[in-house]
Amino acid sequence: MKTFLKIFAGVLIALAVVLFFVAQRGQSAMFEQYTASSTLSSVPTDSASLAYGAHLANIFGCRDCHGDNLAGKVFLDIPPFRAVPANLTSGKGGVADQYKTVQDWDVAIRHGVTKSGRGMIVMPSPAYHKMNDEDAAALIAWIQSVPPVDNVLPPTELKFLGKVLAGFGAIDFGKSVNPEPTNTIKPDTSDVVAYGGYFVNSVCSYCHGEDLRGGPAEGQPIDPPDLRPVKNWSFEQFKKTLREGITPSGKKLDTFAMPIAATKHYTDFELRAIYAYLQTLK
Ligand code: HEC
Ligand code: HEC
């Protein structure tokens, strides 16, 4: 019995040592350095573009996670990590002082690399990589125009379990990073299907999958469903689903998983375009 206990204790100690080193590797993986460069040269200053930028911050979900006034908040505090969408203003605790140029913002938003050179978790930069230059410029112009809000937040952090998972590669800060050139083409609003496709293939496909057939998606609490059946819905039913989170069968969607706080802001015109695009799915 004594020998058994000794062996057992030995195994536990060995395991603890291994976990300690794996956790250390995970912690340094969080701070691995990446580089990407932005092709944006300037941002618009006219009020119509700024208003459009604010609208984009709604439909792309920025305000859902970073707060309506972009003051940031603790978004997830779970056993592996704490994910904190930063205060994007120039108030106390805000990051705007580090993001001096339009390129700094663009590299974080569309390429997924922070000003300090690391990748991110939870922040859906892979979806925003498909945002076109004109939209990105309007969005950044609006972010830079937002009034400062003092809000000092704790940092995004891996807890011990998260460090171990990151050490094994199961949590990957590099996933947000895409140094490839971004989308320069703004679809013409007269081509309704292509216009809808622009939103669908950036935002919606991030969760519902490239082919929009749903299935398990990383970091999603529930599997996003197949969007092809939407073809059988009327436009009004589709609109009610995206605005209120209630499907034609009367099901109340989980609004944390399906970001109604963002999709409710799509204009009727944008929703019509998205609906038109979904009609083309095979
Ligand atoms: C699902 C929630 C979510 C959405 C949607 C989201 N963010 Fe984030 N964002 C985060 C989190 C979490 C972080 C911190 C990630 C980290 O530090 O690893 C972050 C970080 C950032 C950073 C880097 C801040 C820093 O600390 O350097 C910028 C800039 C940013 N987001 C801008 C945006 C913009 C602009 C949008 C909309 C186009 C957006 N975010 C949408 C969650 C989100
Ligand atoms: C952050 C992930 C995420 C994004 C982004 C997202 N969805 Fe969803 N969506 C979900 C999840 C998860 C569900 C299932 C929610 C539930 O069952 O409560 C869902 C449900 C739906 C449903 C209901 C389908 C049904 O048969 O019940 C529709 C329609 C839908 N999404 C359309 C869209 C469209 C269109 C977009 C882009 C404008 C989009 N979603 C963006 C995660 C997402």
pLDDT along the chain (282 residues), means of 10: 86 92 95 97 95 98 98 97 98 97 98 98 97 97 98 98 96 97 92 97 96 90 95 98 98 96 98 98 94
Q: Residue 51: what pLDDT?
A: 98
Q: Is ligand 1 within 6 A of the CB of residue 86?
A: yes
Taking the centre of ligand 1 as the mean of its atom positions, its distance from the CA of residue 44, in whole angstroms, is 22
Quote the CA–CA distance of 57 and 195 in Å, as a whole number.
Answer: 18
Cα(75) to centroid of ligand 1, in Å? 10
pLDDT at 1: 65
**Sign of the alpha-carbon torsion through 265, 38, 198, 126:** negative
The pLDDT assigned to 221 comes to: 85
Q: Ligand 2 centre and the CA of 173: distance in Å?
A: 24
pLDDT for residue 108: 98
| Long-range contacts, 251-260 (Cβ 8 Å, 24+) | 254/221, 254/222, 256/221, 257/220, 257/221, 257/222, 257/224, 258/207, 258/224, 259/61, 259/64
Closest ligand 2 atom to residue 252 Cα is 18
